Structure 1
């Protein structure tokens, strides 16, 4: 099951439907582009607190899922703590399959 989630995130990234990193995710939330924010379970407490504040302020859905290294592996990076999904269909798939 986990691999399907990570694979979907990887496919979404190749399709340009994912924004990776804290700063870009915050910009997408503020511009109302972000449908869902995914926070790695092992992200730092400061990162979690800050991104949750932005999500709550702009009424954006968020979930905590996965590990930084695994997310990074499927996104072609070393580690990814925060990412933003900018597509309704992909976001609903992720929410329904977690």
Structure 2
């Protein structure tokens, strides 16, 4: 059974409230559009470091989650390692679910 945070990510993607791709995620962080960044724990160390450092410097919350396969399945896309949530409501609900 899928965890609830993956269901919320899928809803946010269908609502077009998610940025995909490293460049778009970094751009969303810099422009303060990103409310939360979700990173797969099995992504490369370089990608993790780049995204977490940028999140820390712009004070954007981030979470490491299971793996890229589950993240990709939740979005219905192939090989996704990170997403930026652009909507405050989705970000708040995800933070609540990931904090448990």
TM-score range, shorter chain: over 0.9
Partner Cα separation in structure 1 for residue 2 and residue 50 of structure 2: 26
TM score, norm. by length of structure 2: 0.91
Matched ranges for 1:46-85 at <5 A: 46-85=46-85
Match of 1:39 in 2: 39
Match of 2:3 in 1: 3
Q: Is the 8 A contact 1:70 1:79 kept in 2?
A: no
Partner Cα separation in structure 2 for residue 2 and residue 49 of structure 1: 27
Partner Cα separation in structure 2 for residue 66 and residue 19 of structure 1: 19
The alignment status of 1:94 with 2:82, answered yes or no, reads no
Match of 2:19 in 1: 19
TM score, norm. by length of structure 1: 0.93
**Which stretches in structure 1 are left out of the alignment for 5+ residues?**
none
Deviations 1:51-95 (A, max 9, x none): 111111211111111210111112121111111001111111111
Task: Single out whichever of 72-81 and 31-40 deviates more from structure 2.
Answer: 72-81
User: For the aligned residues, what is the CA RMSD?
Assistant: 1.3
Q: Is the 8 A contact 1:19 1:25 kept in 2?
A: yes
Give the match's secondary structure for 2:19. strand
